[in-house]
Amino acid sequence: MLNHLRINDRIIYRTLECQDIYDGMVCVMEQAEKNSPTREGEERLYAVVNGLLELAGSHGFGGNLWHSYLAYELACHENAFSMACEVKGRVEGSINTFACHDFKIFKALFDYPLEQIDRVFHTDLMKMTADYDGAGGNSKIFNSRIRDRIEALSVQLAGAGSPEEYLDIVTGFYKDCGVGRLGLHKAFRIEGKGAAAQIRPIPNIAHIYLKDLIGYERQKAKLRANTEAFVEGRRANNCLLYGDSGTGKSSSIKALMNEYYDRGLRMIEVYKHQLEELPYIIAQIKDRNYKFILMMDDLSFEDFEVEYKYLKAIIEGGLEKRPDNVLIYATSNRRHLIREKYSDKRELQDDLHVNDTVQEKLSLVSRFGIQIYYGKPDQKEFREIVRQLALRYRIDMSEEQLLAEANIWELNHGGLSGRTAEQFVTHIRSGRKSAEPE
């Protein structure tokens, strides 16, 4: 029961994500304890149930929605305690005592008999929300793995017998899954300009791993070794993946966030026009326990564009040192990133310091300590990619016919590349019998 607790005297977990649900439920519980329901209490009960249902709909929760809500608040709350525990696990010190103070309150809220609310307010609302069938609803906020982990957290906490048990369970969750938007998501994009720039989660991402990319073993090994060093806290380099289109450069980087997410790696997608916002973004992530890769896909600059100077300053050369938990991984079809033309040579004839001008353009790529070339496959390698993809998707077709149709497809759809092979196999899986162009 709540009568011996000051339920709003939380120390660490102060302002909650959905504070109105919490405040409304506490009001309803207090009236139920006193057996003195009011019209205001009844209205707040309906508002609470509405909030729980909306949360269930947007996040894909099922089961006991009140418990899922409480677990969600604990999972998302970024504070001195939770951020100390993210990735690293339980920490020592007095902060644990303050956390247990709050967990005592959360335990009372978990343990509250919801049927008492129904009895006092003459409803069956709590009964329905305590056994809610979400019908396998998808989360618009989290991927299914994190949604399931939060629901599992709610079940664990509901069965815990003491605040100290809560401490063990919650710190274990923070270590395994992280906390808040940075912990519970793998990938992010930038929204806003200047000081208002923020990172927003990307909930639906491709679940691709390096083993899914056929070929390019040397390139993947080099990329993996650098990323391993990064997540382990050793020195690592910025990476540039350059070469022919459709060879798996972007997919290789995207695969890293799935490979190393559980070791604290996160990825932020950055577009060329957002380079000015990077100092504000880095300021938001530099003191967290996660490792961040700033991914810049298909990066290149025309000779008249000057945004590359912002990138140069961020990589190396500004007054403030780039944080150790941030690296830049970029892909490009151009090795030198900045477009160069034969006409440039004529223009440089009027330049008193020709070498300085050339070095100004070449200095950007030199700041990527690792440069990995992805070349298009030859005919033999292309056929091997097609064979492996056909095996992966269990395509029932003779190898002779498969390769013959693959050859026709690549001649008419962009030439030899891993992307062309993937598109061909997708075409075959769609049910069409021939790869002949229409």
From 161, 340, 141, 330, select the one nearest 252 (Cα to Cα): 330
Task: Collect all residues with Cβ–Cβ distance below 8 Å to 337 and sequence separation of at least 6.
Answer: 240, 299, 300, 301, 308, 330, 364, 365
Identify the H or E element spanning 91: none
CA 357 to chain centre: 39
Task: Say how far apart CA 326 and CA 286 lie, in whole Å.
Answer: 7
- What is the 8-class DSSP label of residue 322? P
Is 0.85 surpassed by the pTM of this model?
no
The angle subtended at Cα 232 by Cα 227 and Cα 233, nearest 5°, is 100
Question: What are the pLDDT digits (tens) for 312-350?
Answer: 777 775 656 779 999 999 999 877 666 655 455 555 455
Per mean pLDDT, which range of 287-291, 328-332, 362-366 is the poorest?
Answer: 362-366
β-strand 370-374 against 187-191: which pairing, if any?
unpaired
**Coil, helix or strand at residue 220:** helix
Question: What are the pLDDT digits (tens) for 30-84?
Answer: 999 999 999 999 999 999 999 999 999 989 999 999 999 999 999 999 999 999 9
From 260, 272, 277, select the one nearest 199 (Cα to Cα): 277
Quick one: pLDDT at residue 135?
63
Tell me the average pLDDT across 99-120: 96
- The alpha carbon torsion through 424, 426, 430, 433 (nearest 10 deg) reads 20
Identify the H or E element spanning 277: none
Spell out where 186-233 has E strands: 187-191, 198-201
Task: Collect all residues with Cβ–Cβ distance below 8 Å to 150 and sequence separation of at least 6.
Answer: 59, 61, 68, 71, 72, 75, 142
